[in-house]
Chains A and B, each alone.
Chain A
């Protein structure tokens, strides 16, 4: 595994940097492949469960005769499959590759890291079965039974270790902004998961206190784990694909440190109006408002880096997804800060508006960002091109249109639903009836997104089978420079041929 595929053409390796890049990419192959392919599997399973749950919202009798397919089990199974199966596994694959790339070091633990991918899968599978047969812990975002912590803990320790080893061995002295985000996410998430599990499962913690711990955790999974990994990807891929450095590097570092300071406080805004001390909620609202600072820095940076570069969206699959994700990040963060306010929550809380918001975050921002990362990383670790440009475009447009329909439809319906529920003259059943067409539009949108996921899975399958064109030189997806080198090589070869003649 430590052996490196050195191309057999000496001319192809006239640059030390090129060789290093090929070696680091190659060292990530097994580990990243295991994490990525498993992530895609859980994405498909999560999509099927999502469609089931969505259909049940407007066809209540649909598949309701099997207890393991009732809404109360399918819905948490969807959530956990997407978070712990898809999002976390995609994030781990991406962060390990990014860390090796940016430090220009090989991935350590060539045996244990692939094993950790398998162990993580066993943990998720165990938790999913437990939820479907009725042993969910019934704490939202933490439905997996406690023993799953053993599986996840083992993997997380290895990933922290690998990240720190790559930090020590790095060949580039400077810590790039994406690396700051990765160090943050990698160190925060294990702590979050363990402490939230203890604080929600300990017998003397119950009632509203458990709810506080629960939402502190659930919000921070997005804020201190998915957001750092998503932003690390954006800060790497946007400059790398367009070939233009980050617009304001000062601002990007300010963004990281302010996120580290403020995000952790924001979780309790989920409990606005709940029976907990008012100051706890106020702290959450203040934290959410302070998030305007890091979000503004990221928004300015991503937009200004892309300014004048939008033509690359036509030519790069990675950039399409990453820019869609970056725009959604700005949107979801500003919306989230506003939604934390009491006056906004008065209407939007306990409605479909919240569901729209969470999908804007985890789907439009994070999932699209991970698709973008995968479109860049798969070809480079396998040294093979994607097999079909039209299928990539179908994947992009189905998921983009599907998620926009999803978020806009449910966001609007949720707001009206909130206004109607606040009006005592409107009977509750009228409110329910009003939402039904919008719930149907959610099912349609969800199906469209799932079609995109299956197309993507098919592309990954063909990538693994080796249907795409093999890359001849070590740089995949040839650049202007390697093109020039290729011409020089060709000229040399022609000259040699002439000499022989």
Chain B
């Protein structure tokens, strides 16, 4: 029975405190400021806003290069 009490009350206290800690941490480190930049944090200069990143195989705008012929020829030139 002791185990059960420890599980119920212990986890209630630990999880409650961790949630409060998480909220306090988020506010103190400014996680709720600059939300526009936050929304754009998954983009970067290489994959900027406005650039789709996923296509069916062969259907990408550069299907020619994906098939590799041009690029391989280019590489051969570089090696020389």
Contact = CB atoms under 8 A, between A and B. Distances in A.
A176 B60 contact: no
A242 B52 contact: yes
B47 A199 contact: no
Interface residues of A, number: 72
Contacts of B74: 489-490, 493
Interface in B47-70: 47-62, 65-68, 70
B61 A317 contact: no
A187 B19 CA distance: 10
Contacts of A241: 52-54
A307 B13 CA distance: 43
A384 to B, nearest CB: 10
A172 B60 CA distance: 29
A468 interface: yes
Given A175-B26, A486-B65, A315 B56 contact: yes
Contacts of A198: 3-4, 7
Contact of A389 (B42, B54, B56): B56
Contact of B58 (A194, A204, A316, A389): A389
> Is chain B's binding surface mostly helix, strand, loop or mixed?
loop
B7 A195 contact: yes
Contact of A480 (B35, B43, B51, B68): B51
B57 A478 contact: no
Nearest to B29: A173
B20 to A, nearest CB: 11
A204 B50 contact: no
Contact of B55 (A245, A316, A482): A316
Contacts of B78: 9, 493
B39 A187 contact: no
B59 A388 contact: no
A153 interface: no
B61 A244 contact: no
A59 interface: no
B61 to A, nearest CB: 6
Contacts of A188: 15
A470 interface: yes
A479 interface: yes
- Identify which of B32, B54, B56, B71 gathers the most chain A CB atoms within 10 Å of its CB: B54
A29 interface: no
Interface in B1-53: 1, 3-4, 7-8, 11, 15, 18-19, 22-23, 26, 29, 31-32, 34-53
Interface of A: 9, 15, 17-18, 21, 101-102, 172-176, 183, 187-188, 191, 194-195, 198-199, 202, 204-205, 236, 239-246, 249-250, 253, 257, 260, 312, 315-319, 375-376, 385-389, 392-393, 468-473, 475, 477-483, 486, 489-490, 493, 496-497
Interface of B: 1, 3-4, 7-8, 11, 15, 18-19, 22-23, 26, 29, 31-32, 34-62, 65-68, 70-72, 74-75, 77-78
18 contacts: A17-B47, A18-B46, A202-B3, A239-B42, A241-B52, A241-B53, A242-B52, A243-B52, A315-B52, A317-B56, A388-B57, A468-B57, A469-B68, A478-B55, A478-B65, A483-B61, A493-B78, A496-B77
Across the A-B interface, give the 4 residue pairs with the lowest CB-CB distance, nearest first: A249-B39, A472-B71, A316-B54, A478-B62
